[in-house]
Structures are given as C-alpha cells and as structure tokens.
Structure 1
Amino acid sequence: MWYLCVFYHRLLDYRRPEVQSLAELFGGPGAGAAVEWRMPENHHEDSPFHLVRLPGGERVAAQTANRSLLVKGIYELWGQGATYDELEEAIRAYPDERKLPYLTPESSFKIVVDSFGKAVSFEEQNAIIKRFTYIPFEGRVNLKKPDHKFFVLETDDYGPQNGLPPVAQKTVFFGRLVGAADRHVVPTYELKSRKYIGPTAMDCEMAFLMANQGLARPGKLVYDPFVGTGSILVAAAHFGAMTMILI
C-alpha cells in the first residue's frame, strides 16, 4: 500500500534517509532498501508531501512515524484531488472494505484540517469539515482521545516561497492517521533542559536523527570517543541503547 508521508519542512536532506533507517530498524534487514518513494502530481521533491510504500505495511509505517523526528504524519490515503469535488469522488471510490472498519458505531473519530503554504481560519476549518458528511461515520466525535484521526491536508497553489519552487496546482488530501512524530524529545533533551559539561554541543534534533539513522535500540552499543556534551549518547540511551565513553 502507498501511504501519504507528510514531513516537517526542515532538514530536507535527512527526511527520506531517516524513514528508510527506521524501516530497517522495525522491518528487519533489507527493509530500508526496499522502501519505495514517489511524488504526488505537481509536487517538487522538496515538498512536504511524499508517497511511500513500506515493507511490513501499517505496523512498520506506524512504528516508523512514531519514532521519527521529521515525519509529521503517515496516513492511509483515502483520496486526493485538485478540488473538494475531485476529493469526494476519490473517497467514494476508495474500497469500502478499507473504510468501513473505521466508521463503526463503536469507534470514535476526529477530523483535523491542516495546510501548507496558507493559513486556514477556524471558521474555514469548520466549513471544510462539514463537507465530509458523505462519509458514513456512525461513531461519536471525540476531540480529545479519538480512536481514529482523519486529516484534511491542503497545499495551496503558492508561488516560489516557503523555500520551495512553485506548486502548479492546489491539492487536497484526505487520510486516516497511522502514526506521527513524537517531538517532545527535543525540548526534553536540549541543553537548556539538562545538565552538561562543555562549551559546545551538537543540536539536539540532529543527535536524535543520528541515533535513528544509527538504529539505536536495546541490545545495541553506541561508543562515542569524542563525547563532547553527550548529545549523541543521550539520544541513543533514550532509545534503549547501551552507551560508552572514553575516559
């Protein structure tokens, strides 16, 4: 299955490599090399919106997204279009056997509107959400802890700004959230939040990216002969690896 992978718009050269490393970590040897990528129509590779196929399916997709620093979310894509009418047509055509398990009376849900390249007011978000009455949700809305989160992701036809080449056509995506980055580690472990010795340090986010690309996990040893303020070792230890320094 192809998933929609939405990245944070930062550290662009590290985004796909981090996903492939985590696919290797959770999918086993060779899984990272087996990851496939393609771009949505009219999107440049620096766009935050990518399509990805991961070996191991939804389990690996969720684990990869949840541990990542740069994946804003991985979604089961129910449809996309240049307009909301096209999006509706795509969602209606998406197989019922994929949709119905998440629309049952026993499950709660929430719809979130997100965008890139434009701001969407609260009133506009409500109006957008009301467009999706054709999806036969039978469960109750739960804004705090829903069983399933659905996202409307909109990228506008902005010009050459946001550090990107222009996108030729507006695109609207709709999908079920599979997993999302947990970025609380950055404020938790940045230097101002912990004790350290030394005048310089590696950026906390970069240290965690290196730990991810190094496949840090329980049972692994991470040795840093030039430890500095310990940023890499702290990140590796957070993920359960044994760490060692030279004294």
Structure 2
Amino acid sequence: MALPGTVNRYLLLMAQEHLEFRLPSPFWILSIPSEDIARNLMKRTVCAKSIFELWGHGKSPEELYSSLKNYPVDKMVPFLHSDSTYKIKIHTFNKTLTQEEKVKRIDALEFLPFEGKVNLKKPQHIFSILEDYGLDPNCIPENPHNIYFGRWIADGQRELIESYSVKKRHFIGNTSMDAGLSFIMANHGKVKENDIVFDPFVGTGGLLIASAHFGAYVYGTDIDYNTVHGLGKASRKNQKWRGPDENIRANLRQYGLEKYYLDVLVSDASKPSWRKGTYFDAVITDPPYGIRESTRRTGSQKEIPKGIEKCPESHVPVSLSYHLSDMFFDLLNFAAETLVLGGRLVYWLPVYTPEYTEEMVPWHPCLKLISNCEQKLSSHTSRRLITMEKVKEFEGSTSTDSAKLCILNVVHDPQLVETEHAEPVDAETRLSDLSICQFWYPQWVLEPISCGCQGRTVP
C-alpha cells in the first residue's frame, strides 16, 4: 500500500451530517496539486472538519506501518528535524479508546524518524492517527476498517455555522435559511470577492449574508412589502411585533458586512423590471413552496388591457397565486437572461418523491445542469438543490419558448403546495453537503473509502 511519491495525497475528514447528500464515509482521499490549494479548500468548506497530508493508510496496523515505511523520507524530514516541536493526536470514528490504548498506538510509531521535541500545547506540527470503525453505532467492530496517519494541514469553517446561526440573527422569518445551507449554496454558486449576487425571493436575506461573507455584493427582491421593510408580526418567540431596525441591512451590519449591501426592493419575480443585459455573477434563491410562505404574484382576475399600469406610490397591487411551474419557468428564464456567461443559478426545487424522475428537473437551453442533490422533508416529499451554469448567450423568444416546453413537467404534490399544516422542517436539522471539489475547484480525484456500506459514485 505504498503511496506514490509524485502525487500529493490528502485525507479529508468530513462532518457526519445529512449523508443523503454524499457518500457516507467520513474519510475521503483526495489528490490535490499543492498544499496551498488544500488550505484554500478548507477556507471555504463548512462540511469538512480537517484535512491532512496523508503519509500512510491500511486496513490493519501492519498495513499502516508498511505504508509509512514506503513514504518518501525526504517528504518527512522537514517536519521531523531536531529544531521542530510536534504532537500526535488520535481520532476515532464510531468508537472511544482508553488513554492506555491511545498511548500504545502512539508508541508503535517509534520507527518514524522523529527528532524534534514533544509539545502538547503549541506544537509546530500536529500528526494524527485516524481510525474508522464504520457507520453502525450498534455494531462496532473490534478492529477498525481503515487506519490513516497524516500531518494536519488546516481545519474547515465549521465555526461559521455557529457564528452565523439563525438563532443569533437580528432579523429572522418563518423560513430563514440556516447558516450551513446558506454557505453550501454560496459555494455551489462559486461566489467570490467582488461578484454581484441576486436573490429574487430574498425573504429575510439569509442567502445574501453567506454571499457577502465571501466578499460578494448582494441584491434582492421580494413581493412581501412587510418582510422587505421589516414590518408586521415577529417570527421570534416571545416577541409580538418586529422592531424598527429589523431588516436585511441590519443583519449585514450585525456581521460587519454592510458595505456589500446594494439594495433590497419590493418586486414581483414574475414581472422583472430590469433593463436587458447581464448583471449577475450568481442567482441564489429559495423560492416559496406554498407551505409556510405563500407563492404569490401581482395581478387581478379581471381582464384588463395590457400596458404600463400607473399607480400611486402607496398603492399595493392585488396578488394572485403563483403556480410552481410558472415560477420555475420565470426563474430559469430570468437567470438565463441576466447571468454573465459562466454564472450560476442555485435554487431549491420541491418534489413529490414517489413520482419524481430526473427528467422532471426544469432545464433551459442556455443553462447546463451541474448538480442535483436531495433533502428529504417527509416520507413522500423532498426538495432538491439544483445548480445550473450559464453556457450559452440568451437568444430572446427562442430560448424562452424552449424553456417553457420543458418546465411543464415539474411535478409536485398538491398537499406540498396547498396545505397549511405540512410537516415542519427544523432549520437546525437541514442538510450539509460535500460537493466541495466538484463545484468550485477543478475536479480532483476523490477516492471513497470502502466501509462496508452502499454509496453513490462520484465522478
């Protein structure tokens, strides 16, 4: 099990949350061009705990030791010389070891050329032994399925989930997206510094916060006047009405991100009032499904002549129900028209699970499907995180007609849209996602570890 000396191999330790979004193994072996790229990877992900430079691995201690002995000594020496300090940590998945067992495993590594001094408080280098005992907590094997040894490189951004938690946020709503999902969506959208990110169903602006954290300028619209202006009843427990400063801008100010705030407007997503042209690097949104937030658009049941309707500033237009297929047609068409070439559309699509097929995912001739990930909501409903990339310039009515034909097949359960008593989803239990290398870095080789479980194949 020797490691090729010409390949930089790293071990990614994943957070075990919402496994339906990825292969369930907590350990992933990656081939990455350089350590700097590995560090940059960990600066973005909220789904991984740590990454290690992999020195050796095996299915038994003997295989691990053999693998370590075959690792190039010249790659070890810079971190083991006499002027350095180090410590060795033990990490086990699905099993707890006694202190005596940990010491025994560390002592067994005495054949490695450690010449530096041990420093448990502030070491220059940290090495880890990682043992995988499978996924079943009710059937823990005596010996691990896989054992790894490596040098710690960097930790992920898991702390962002807590620091940006909805519970601590100044302005929230009934359907505010939790922090972990917001950062995942920003990563799927390849959001970077100085991008312009738009959310046409902005709500309380949770998705804008994640994009602003990565240095993007954010913009949003919503049809709900009260939500945009922070008026009406509060969603927070033991608070009847929203305060005078509860709004999206105040949320960005709370996190020191106000400089990235462009504006938030009251606007109807079915009737975008934009000049023709490309404005946005990413459109990232969570459209309403009609459960806890209604699907609405402006309009009237009366037949009225077409044209620009002039209304006083204080006038609030009558709203109609907004069918899901119409909503997604408008969304894809808007993204195809306003995204820059290579820009991404990231959105949630609700589906009725028993009847769902991949052919039901809306598509557009100007947009390429990048990913389609499922989050289960109940036994018969789920929602899918869809990521699309603009690969072709918008061509007016031709693109619009083609998109209209293919969105008619969007399937949904009537109960998912109409009932007001659907099963609620706790924001803190929503999914996390791997998808790290596949969406916003070059597609490196990922090697899912064999752990006696079934999983999907990642290309």
Q: Same fold (TM over 0.5)?
A: yes
Which residue does 1:239 correspond to in 2? Answer: 214
- TM-score if structure 2 supplies the norm length? 0.43
**1:119 maps to which of 64, 86, 96:** 96
Residue 195 of structure 1: how far off its partner (Å): 0.5
Instruction: Judge conservation of contact 1:108–1:140 (CA < 8 Å) in 2.
Output: yes
**1:87 maps to which of 64, 67, 79:** 64
What secondary structure does 1:67 align onto?
coil
Question: Unmatched 5+ residue regions in structure 2?
Answer: 1-7, 222-264, 266-459
Which residue does 1:34 correspond to in 2? Answer: none
Q: What per-residue deviation string (whole Å, max 9, x for no partner) do you get for residues 50-105 of structure 1?
A: 22123x32211121023211122222111112222221221111101111111112
Which residue does 2:19 correspond to in 1? Answer: 12
Which residue does 2:196 correspond to in 1? Answer: 221
Residue 179 of structure 1: how far off its partner (Å): 2.2
1:142 aligns with 2:119: yes
Higher relative contact order (CA 8 A, sep 6+): 1
What secondary structure does 1:133 align onto?
coil
Residue 113 of structure 1: how far off its partner (Å): 0.5
Which residue does 1:3 correspond to in 2? Answer: 10
Distance 1:132 1:46 in 2: 29
What secondary structure does 1:149 align onto?
strand
**1:102 maps to which of 65, 79, 85:** 79
What secondary structure does 1:89 align onto?
helix
Instruction: Judge conservation of contact 1:63–1:179 (CA < 8 Å) in 2.
Output: no
Which residue does 1:65 correspond to in 2? Answer: 42
**1:77 maps to which of 18, 29, 54:** 54
Instruction: Judge conservation of contact 1:152–1:173 (CA < 8 Å) in 2.
Output: yes
Residue 172 of structure 1: how far off its partner (Å): 0.9
Distance 1:127 1:245 in 2: 57
Q: What root-mean-square deviation, in Å, do the aligned CA atoms of Structure 1 and Structure 2 show?
A: 2.3
1:46 alignment partner AA: P
Which residue does 1:153 correspond to in 2? Answer: 130
What secondary structure does 2:203 align onto?
coil
Q: What per-residue deviation string (whole Å, max 9, x for no partner) do you get for residues 97-149 of structure 1?
A: 11111111222212110011211233322222222222221222222332221
Instruction: Judge conservation of contact 1:108–1:141 (CA < 8 Å) in 2.
Output: yes
Distance 2:31 2:146 in 1: 20
Q: What per-residue deviation string (whole Å, max 9, x for no partner) do you get for residues 147-171 of structure 1?
A: 2211100012x5x72599x9x9621
**1:205 maps to which of 137, 161, 180:** 180
2:12 alignment partner AA: C
1:192 aligns with 2:167: yes
Residue 6 of structure 1: how far off its partner (Å): 2.1
1:146 alignment partner AA: P
What secondary structure does 2:46 align onto?
coil
| Closer/same/farther in 2, CA of residues 163 and 244 from structure 1, 3 Å limit | farther
Distance 2:196 2:100 in 1: 52
Choose between structure 1 and 2: higher helix proportion.
1
What secondary structure does 2:201 align onto?
coil
Which residue does 1:230 correspond to in 2? Answer: 205
**1:48 maps to which of 16, 22, 26:** 26
Q: Greater Rg, structure 1 or structure 2?
A: 2
Instruction: Judge conservation of contact 2:48–2:158 (CA < 8 Å) in 1.
Output: no
Distance 1:77 1:139 in 2: 20
- TM-score if structure 1 supplies the norm length? 0.78
| Closer/same/farther in 2, CA of residues 197 and 70 from structure 1, 3 Å limit | closer
**Structure 1 residues 31-42: aligned runs within 5 Å:** none
Identity %: 37
Residue 182 of structure 1: how far off its partner (Å): 2.1
**Structure 1 residues 154-173: aligned runs within 5 Å:** 154-156=131-133, 158=134, 161=136, 170-173=145-148
Which residue does 1:22 correspond to in 2? Answer: none
2:220 alignment partner AA: I
2:177 alignment partner AA: M
